[in-house]
Amino acid sequence: MRHLTPEQNRLMRRRARVLAGGMAVLCFGGLLVRLFVLQLLDPGGYAARAADQQLRGATLPAARGEIFSADGTLLAASETCWTIRAAPRELEDALVEPAARALSEILEIDYQETLEKLSQRSSNDCLLRRRVDQEMADAVRSWCTEHNAQGIQIRQDTKRVYPQGDFLGGILGFTDVDNAGLWGLELEYNEELTGQNGEILTAKNAWGYDLPTHYQTLVEAIPGNTLTLTIDANIQHWLESAMDAAVREHNVAQRGVGIVMDVQTGAILAMTSQPDYDPNTPRQIINEEIRAQVDALTGEARSAALQEAQQTQWRNKAISDLYEPGSVFKLVTAAAALDTGVCTPQDTFACAGKINVAGTWFRCANGHIHGLETFAQGLAVSCNPCFIQIGARLGKENFCQYFEDFGLREATGIDLPGEIKRSEYYTADRMEPVLHFGPRISCDNTKKQTGRRGVPSVLVCCGER
């Protein structure tokens, strides 16, 4: 056996000490780095994990803000309902099947699906049914009390309701199952109407079960803001009734549109597209014929047809569709003529029932012959020859300038989603005394006559050309 010399022995001891020191530095250095990360770079990480293991949080949904008409009629509100959830791991094995059978009957849900959910013994949370009423919630609570069933949770919730029913649907819009706005004012003012949810924090024991209620912490929910409209409910009722009657009488296929405004401020007092839908059941197709056609389909074809039908009935035509004004545009021509001074209310014009412009004859609506009439009288009877002469005095440059000054080239900026952003019109360089494409028709019927890009092709008297 070879013996180490004293020098070799000292060298080995030195090496052992260096190795031990290196290992100590490496271990303690790694520990120090880890402590630095935990305490300085990520101080909340383990605290959050500990809280997650020790606390169970239940959300208290905030009530969505109410919507009122200008006269104080409640148009949209939040109503208390309940959500039924379960923690299958807390339910006794012997109660799984009886609970599935009883809850499926009470909540009117599928028994087999309920049994599968409750049979997942490691699960700590599953949804059984949302938005149940007081009667169902009480029935679930009674069954759980009678059978001492643990793990069935009855949580308070809210749902959006529209107390007036089939009224103002296209304006109010509606929300989804989470009470988030999807259409109309509910979408436009979703941030303002949405409240701040509260929370109940419950302490859990080592096995994940809730401790007694005195270990709970409650954070109250804050309701959303109230919204008051310029809509007057009485005027809205009259408008919807009149439009509904007109649509039925004239068999209007593409829905009728009506707007009532305050002429002094421009505030919208009423607006409707009839027939309208009930915001409480927005996905139900209101047109029976279309609903039958959709129901006759299956699969993807049915889904596509249903989506198209729903989008059509939700569309607010008052702001989302282009409007061909016809003779109502004489008001713009009249205002421009008076403001520029080319006409006064007392100026007179002759109406012989028709007038020739650049070799083309234009007739007054319904064959009327008004004879000699003042500017004011011509406006009152919507006389076509009179306004052709007024338009000639005004000139196309002035007319186009007033068209722009009235804001008719731009969107109105109304606080509703879906407003069309473009306007179709002729500029001065494209205007001629008479536009020759398509047959000539009376000014009052311009919406039946279309020219390039679907724009009405005639007449100067309306100021459209």
Say how far apart CA 44 and CA 188 lie, in whole Å: 38
3-state SS of the chain: helix, strand, coil percent to 5? 45, 20, 40
Per DSSP, the three-state class of 298 is coil
Say how far apart CA 360 and CA 459 lie, in whole Å: 11
E strands, 51-134, in order: 55-60, 67-68, 74-86, 126-132
In the CATH hierarchy, which fold is given to the domain comprising 326-454? Beta-lactamase (3.40.710)
Say how far apart CA 237 and CA 166 lie, in whole Å: 11
Within the chain, which residue ranges are assigned CATH 3.40.710.10? 326-454
Phi, psi of 457 (to 5 degrees): -90, -15
| Cβ–Cβ < 8 Å for 63, 160 | no
Strand partners, 83: 155
Q: How do residues 255-313 score in pLDDT, each as one tens digit? A: 999 999 999 999 999 999 999 999 999 999 998 889 999 999 999 999 999 999 999 99
The correct answer on CATH 3.90.1310.10 for the domain covering 58-228 is yes
Between 156 and 161, where is the model more confident?
161
At residue 236, the pLDDT reads 97
Mean pLDDT of the residues in the chain: 84
Q: How do residues 166-196 score in pLDDT, each as one tens digit? A: 999 999 999 998 899 999 999 999 999 999 9
**Lowest model confidence (mean pLDDT) among 35-39, 145-149, 381-385:** 35-39
Q: Please return the burial class of 316, using the count of CB atoms within 10 Å of its CB with bins 0-12, 13-18 and 19+.
A: buried
Rg (CA), the chain: 37
In sequence order, which residues have a C-beta less than 8 Å from that of residue 48 and are 6 or more positions away?
Answer: none
Q: Which two tokens stand for residue 346?
A: 């007392």
Taking 50 as the threshold, does the pLDDT of residue 443 lie above it? no
At residue 192, the pLDDT reads 96
Q: Concatenate the DSSP letters of all residues of 306-370 into one string.
A: HHHHHHHHH--HHHHS----GGGGHHHHHHHHHHHTS--TT-EEEE-SEEEETTEEEEPGGG---
Pairing of strands 67-68, 227-228: parallel
Strand partners, 82: 132, 156
Taking 70 as the threshold, does the pLDDT of residue 204 lie above it? no
Within the chain, which residue ranges are assigned CATH 3.90.1310.10? 58-228
Q: How confident is the model at residue 44 (pLDDT cuts 50, 70, 90)?
A: low
| Cβ–Cβ < 8 Å for 256, 246 | yes
At residue 246, the pLDDT reads 95
| Cβ–Cβ < 8 Å for 392, 460 | yes
DSSP state at residue 206: T
Phi, psi of 204 (to 5 degrees): -115, 150
